[in-house]
Structure 1
Amino acid sequence: MPDSPVSPDDLEYRHVSGTRVIYRARQRRTDHTVWLGLALHLPAFLLSLSLVLAVALAFNAWLGVPVWLPTALWTASGVLAFHRPTEALLARHVLHLHRPLPAELTTLAPVWREVTARAGVDGSRYELWIEDSDDLNALAAAGHIVAVTRRALQDLPTSQLAAVLAHELGHHTSGHSWSGLLGWWYTVPGRLVWRALALVKPRLVRIARGASITAWGLLLVLVAYLTVITAKATYGLPLLLPALPYLTAAVGRRAELRADAHAAGLGFAPVLARLLEQSIAEEDSHPDPARGTGRFPAASRLLSHHPDHRTRLHHLRKYL
């Protein structure tokens, strides 16, 4: 089959049909960011487990349901992260994605086949999705979801689209996607309780305003006593809880850099670097008024799970 004309932007990328592809024997692995991320989710998991146990005890008291049954079902429910129909529901109703239209699939599928062929990965194991968004973005989720935004599919040259997909494939092959989903799933009970507290917050504030100074003093003494007792019993581990969001964000940023390294290892470093340079130039020419604002902008940056474009570009230099 003769090669089709290629624009200068696509010189780093050629899709050649009929090429023999050799798959790697081990197509997935888990790097250190996976285990660090799961370890940092452990306190939230234990909190959620205690909430599930409380619900199980209530069901046991009211309906006679064995305590172990709902607890075991919730603990085992994490396997749904790799269940294809459940992933489809997650993609549609949580991530708000949709299947590619025929014209979109005509553009996306050949690029995905080229990227996965370079990586020695069976691309048919993954599901391609589209996000209706004006951002230049893509995402990898669960065990098999790979999505790009409509704008990325329409505006990015083929080479840059391939580099973005290679980055997302790196999240899958390194285990970032499934571990992130498990961390999210097992903290759902805790987040539901937090949302419930947010709903009753106005009422709690009104009650607190009407409390006397004596009541406030007794409450503070009780909280301080419980804090000291808990810290002694757990060797001070709860004191690390305020640092968990920052540590989790740092691990997330490291995972993004690892995914960039995966794309660079497949030969997409120059294309990805050019894409990052374009993003930096766009940010400089059209600054976001909300960026860097707030009471503690440095803390906001530390809580970001994505490194800024300049940091990513700096780490890509060694592959150029």
Structure 2
Amino acid sequence: MDQASDPSYPGYPPEPAPAELGPDDLEYRNAPGTRVFHHARQRRTDATAWGTLALHIPGFLLSLAVVLLTALLLEVWLGLPVWVPTTLWITSGALVFHRPSERFLARHLLRLQRPLPEELARLHPVWREVTARAGIDGTRYELWIEDSDGINASAAAGHIVGVTRHAVERLPTAQLAAVLAHELGHHTGGHAWSGLLGWWYEQPGRHMWRALNVLAIRLYRSVSMSSYMAGALLVGLVAWLAFVTVSETYGLPLLLPALPYLTAAVARRAELRADEHAAVLGFAPMLAQVLHGWIAEERPATGRATLPGGAAVATAAAEPGFLARLLSSHPDHRTRLHHLQPYLAGQGVTPQGGHPLG
């Protein structure tokens, strides 16, 4: 069903012809009225999506233990069977694909807004072209706007594609199509739903861990103020409990400090997969232009500083440290351009105006 006639997507205007949008540098291969072929399989789960889910298993198990403990307490206090809250929590992951829940998430957690008619008039034909090239039914997804001055886009939940208002207003149409093709790649590769699903199932464990940290710090402060010996005994008790936990779980908790780095590495691979998806659809030159623009705008600003002896030297903004780069969820722009090179051979892509994609 076309979004223009979808009652659940109010305010969607009739699709305008590309010529009505003013200067347009996008090559439209699928004009309105042309036959579009959709793949029988609209989604897949690639290796990065499976990797994301695997890395969330420890958090899921911790959350499951918290839920089971809570369920046992509810059974003692209220007589509620243990399996009721546990089953409800396990099945709650289906909310990732529940449209009303997705819209609530988009509006209240991601701070996205419904597009204005003029924004939809610009986005709709571009989205149609991108999804038609991919063989994807674009009406399955909803376009949302982030009220931001940056150039960015995002794929969230099962069917949400967000793009900043600044990107809609400033990016050339072909570059905007490349940005949307990149986000579509996150959806069709399973990156969006797997990341959200992992985040959702980690919440009980995260909240319990934070509460225990706060409780331990306050308890230590209150005990140590009254007696150094009591503080030492408390530290010893915590150390003993940690040793027993590590021993009984075959050292698995020792892997927890490495999880943020592994998760970031998988996220960077997912970004490269989404870039590849856009490149296969013919948007590699446009995506490269976006990345070149980002490099130009984020180049460290140089200035002049005066040493105590009066000598002037050039200064530059500090580069991210090694650990910060390991924790980054996005590859650096030059790495992304390097992976795009096989799709750019012979096309002579050079930096152009415009703004970078966040």
TM-score, length of structure 1 as denominator length: 0.90
Larger deviation, residues 3-12 vs 74-83: 3-12
Contact 2:30 2:36 in 1 (8 A): no
Structure 1 unaligned residues grouped into runs of 5+: none
1:14 Cα deviation from its structure 2 partner: 6.0
Quote how far apart the aligned CAs of 1:237 are. 1.7
| Contact 2:30/2:132, CA 8 A, preserved across alignment | no
Which range moves more in the overlay, 243-252 or 223-232? 223-232
Unaligned runs of 5+ in 2: 1-15, 303-315, 345-358
Q: Does 1:164 align with 2:179?
A: yes
Deviation for aligned residue 1:279: 0.6
Give deviations 1:42-62, integer Å, cap 9, x for gaps. Answer: 111111111111211121111
Aligned to 2:350: none
**How far is 1:313 from its partner?**
1.2
Query: 1:263 and 1:51, CA in 2 relative to 1: closer, same or farther beyond 3 A?
Result: same
Residue in structure 2 matched with residue 60 of structure 1 by the alignment: 75
Instruction: Measure the CA separation in 2 of the matches of 1:49 and 1:234.
Output: 15
One-letter amino acid matched to 1:127: E
Q: Tell me what 1:116 maps to.
A: 131
Whether 1:313 aligns to 2:328 is no
Q: What is the count of residue pairs matched by the alignment?
A: 316
Structure whose residues are more often helix by fraction? 1
C-alpha separation between the residues in 1 aligned to 2:206 and 2:44?
A: 29
* Percent of aligned pairs sharing the same letter: 66
2:272 matches 1:284: no
SS class of match (1:10): coil
TM-fit CA distance, 1:194: 4.4
Q: Which residue of 2 aligns with 1:243?
A: 258
Please give the alpha-carbon distance, in whole angstroms, between the structure 1 residues aligned to 2:212 and 2:244: 25
Distance 1:180 1:298 in 2: 24
Counterpart residue type for residue 51 of structure 1: V
Question: Which amino acid is 1:300 matched to?
Answer: A
CA RMSD of aligned residues (A): 2.6
List per-residue Cα deviations over 1:236-286 (Å, max 9, x = no partner).
222111101100111011101100000000000011001100110011165
Q: After the TM superposition, which residues 69-108 of structure 1 pair with which residues of structure 2 at under 5 Å, given as runs?
A: 69-108=84-123
Q: Is the 8 A contact 1:15 1:110 kept in 2?
A: no
- What SS class does the counterpart of residue 140 from structure 1 fall into? strand
Q: Which residue identity lines up with residue 246 of structure 2 in the other structure?
A: A
- Cα 1:280–1:9 change in 2 (3 A) is farther
CA contact 1:15–1:111 (8 Å) conserved in 2: no
Which amino acid letter does the alignment assign opposite residue 316 of structure 1? L
Q: Is the 8 A contact 1:245 1:303 kept in 2?
A: yes
Taking the TM superposition and a 5 Å limit, the aligned residue runs for 1:1-320 are: 4=19, 10=25, 12=27, 16-196=31-211, 203-204=218-219, 206-207=221-222, 209-210=224-225, 212-284=227-299, 286=301, 292=319, 297-320=321-344
Q: Mean Cα displacement is larger for which, 197-206 or 90-99? A: 197-206
Larger Rg: 2
